């Protein structure tokens, strides 16, 4: 047992060190997206949302943030949503912060010297709670009441028996769009979804985790949720890939349920050999860590679903004063 634990901890250490090195390299070598820029812009947003906002804040990283934005803005392959978000938050930041601070003044000048993106009717910047419904509807979301939401949650059950027909890629993309709305630390979204839809690839991946006997060989589609440790500059954050990826995976599965599809979350034990095997299958970097798998398909109408009685609210909710 101690030998297995030591091997798992050594593997985690190697992946973490690889992630730290990749993070450092990404500071000056990125094109489409920057995890550090996303983190810094989110930190500025939190400052902008403070009820009693100060005239001077963010001085420790505003220069770095503008430099990262400049690199993204002057590149050729920037993710447009990230670029717009960074631009609009920086615009709001410089509009409300004091010009008396030299650090902010220098960053403001550097930002204003860059080509402007122009304005939009709905800026990608902090907004009030009263405006939340408007922003959600603009993104194509419908406002649901609690009863409908609870029914959706109850309708999401682990389903393992599926019809022998493919899942439309449009449905997978729609569920992924829902997953991307999940919260993550400093909005870094440190994960990727690798979707297998062919029998040989599904079988290779499904054979790796424990607990897929009897159903893993008939999944119409399978998603590997993979964490990315290159999003972090500190070893203390290494476990965030599991938290953030799990939050996204839950919304991914709810997205499938809302479209009439079935899904099954598949546990991924912390076995270094299995991590490496999936890295080789998918061509992953050493700092990419498998978190879990999700099987997907059109459930058979006559297949059985475990009742899985859930605990009472009183058993899990503790009020502390």
Domain ranges of the chain: 31-130, 147-297
Q: Are 110 and 70 in contact (CB under 8 A)?
A: yes
pLDDT tens string 185-203: 999 999 999 999 999 999 9
pLDDT tens string 8-61: 889 999 999 999 999 998 888 888 889 999 999 999 999 998 888 899 999 999
Of 96-105, 119-128, 275-284, the range with the highest mean pLDDT is: 275-284
What's the average model confidence in pLDDT over 255-271? 95
Comparing C-alpha atoms, which of 186, 219, 188 is closest to residue 44? 186
Among the residue ranges 1-10, 179-188, 230-239, 282-291, the one predicted with the least confidence is 1-10
Looking at residue 143, what is its pLDDT? Answer: 55
How high is the mean pLDDT of the chain? 91
Q: How confident is the model at residue 177 (pLDDT cuts 50, 70, 90)?
A: very high
Calculate what percentage of the chain has a pLDDT beyond 90. Answer: 73
Higher-confidence residue of 122 and 104: namely 104
The one-character DSSP state at 143 is P
Looking at residue 280, what is its pLDDT? Answer: 98
Calculate what percentage of the chain has a pLDDT beyond 70. Answer: 96
Looking at residue 214, what is its pLDDT? Answer: 87
Strand ranges (E), 24-106: none
3-state secondary structure of 54: coil
DSSP H or E stretch at residue 47: helix 35-48
Looking at residue 308, what is its pLDDT? Answer: 87
> In sequence order, which residues have a C-beta less than 8 Å from that of residue 168 and are 6 or more positions away?
none
Residue with tokens 């809302």: 258
pTM, full prediction:
0.86
Q: Which residues are paired to 223 by β-bridges? A: 195, 294
Q: Is the pLDDT of residue 131 over 80?
A: no
pLDDT tens string 287-309: 999 999 999 999 998 888 888 88
Looking at residue 144, what is its pLDDT? Answer: 62
What's the average model confidence in pLDDT over 132-160? 77
Question: Which CATH superfamily hosts domain 147-297?
Answer: NADH Oxidase (3.40.109.10)
């Amino acid at each position: 047992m101690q030998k297995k634990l030591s091997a798992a901890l050594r593997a985690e250490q190697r992946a973490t060190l690889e992630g730290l090195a990749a993070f450092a390299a990404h500071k000056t070598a990125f094109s489409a997206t920057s995890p550090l820029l996303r983190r810094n812009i989110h930190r500025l947003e939190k400052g902008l949302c403070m009820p009693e906002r100060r005239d001077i804040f963010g001085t420790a990283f505003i220069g770095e943030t503008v430099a990262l934005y400049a690199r993204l803005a002057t590149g050729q392959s920037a993710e447009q949503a990230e670029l717009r978000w960074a631009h609009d938050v920086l615009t709001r930041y410089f509009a409300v912060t004091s010009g008396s601070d030299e650090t902010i003044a220098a960053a403001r000048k550097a930002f204003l010297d860059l080509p402007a993106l122009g304005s939009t009717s709905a800026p990608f910047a902090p907004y009030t709670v009263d405006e939340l419904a408007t922003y959600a509807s603009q993104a194509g979301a419908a406002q649901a009441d609690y009863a409908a939401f609870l029914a959706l949650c109850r309708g999401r059950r682990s389903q393992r028996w599926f019809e022998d027909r493919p899942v439309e890629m449009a449905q997978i993309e729609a569920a992924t769009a829902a997953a991307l709305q999940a919260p993550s630390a400093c909005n870094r979204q440190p994960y990727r979804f690798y979707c297998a839809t062919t029998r040989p690839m599904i079988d290779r991946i499904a054979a790796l985790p424990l607990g897929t006997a009897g159903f893993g060989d008939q999944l119409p589609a399978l998603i590997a949720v993979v964490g990315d440790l290159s999003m972090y500059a500190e070893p203390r954050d290494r476990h965030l890939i599991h938290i953030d990826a799990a939050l996204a995976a839950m919304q991914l599965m709810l997205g499938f349920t809302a479209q009439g599809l079935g899904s099954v979350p598949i546990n991924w034990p912390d076995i270094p050999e299995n991590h490496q095997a999936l890295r080789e299958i998918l061509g992953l970097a050493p700092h990419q860590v498998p978190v879990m798998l999700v099987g997907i398909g059109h459930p058979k109408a006559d297949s059985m679903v475990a009742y899985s009685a859930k605990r009472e609210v009183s058993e899990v909710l503790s009020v502390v004063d």
